[in-house]
Structure 1
Amino acid sequence: MTNSIQIFNNPEFGNIRTLTEEDGTILFCEKDVAEALGYADTVNALKQHCRGVVKRHLIDSLGRTPEATFISEPDIYRLICASRLPSAQKFERWVFEEVLPASPSWQ
């Protein structure tokens, strides 16, 4: 299995990019998650709450390879718990009930 990208869309939370690594580990684009949870300063949210940060180069539609920051599933929980938005629970439900079950390593 090679690293595979999936993009999940939600009308309320926007796009969340996930990356499934060769070992089946699911990583989430930190910026997408932090913005969906209402963090104004995504870099600060990452520093304060996330522990499993990894950088990956992705190929975009123009063939460029920008670097993106991804976080582990436990870091999703940390960001959800620290979010002050009432919609954080709805985001959690969406991730647990739709995003994770649709990921290749859950199937």
Structure 2
Amino acid sequence: MRADVGRVAEALVEALPQPYGRWSIAVFDDPTPNAFALPGGKIGVHAGMLAVVRTPDQLAAVIAHEIGHVLADHSNERLTQELAVQGGLMLVDLFADEPGIRRLAVVASSRDIDV
């Protein structure tokens, strides 16, 4: 499946309705099943994800999901969201003495974008 990563990514990028710019994809020797996107068209796939996907179509779904994050500019959205959460947590720290409240706020906001 590792050999399919570049081919699948290239096919997906060529199918985009508008050119985005330069894309790069890398496979990391990490056993966790994960993939990620960074600004500037950079996508990373962990080797552990390649052990989970069984077909090139499943791999394409993973890579397409990450391409979607880049196109939707989720990295900047995430930064803005994290800054807002940090500001809110400062207020929680000022007015509440419950560490559980802070933990819930962080967990709740961290998964919003990936859904």
TM interval, short-chain normalised:
under 0.3
More helix per residue:
2
More strand per residue:
1
Quick one: higher RCO (CA 8 Å, sep 6+), 1 or 2?
Answer: 1
Determine which structure has more spread, i.e. the larger CA radius of gyration.
2
Q: TM-score, normalised by structure 1?
A: 0.28
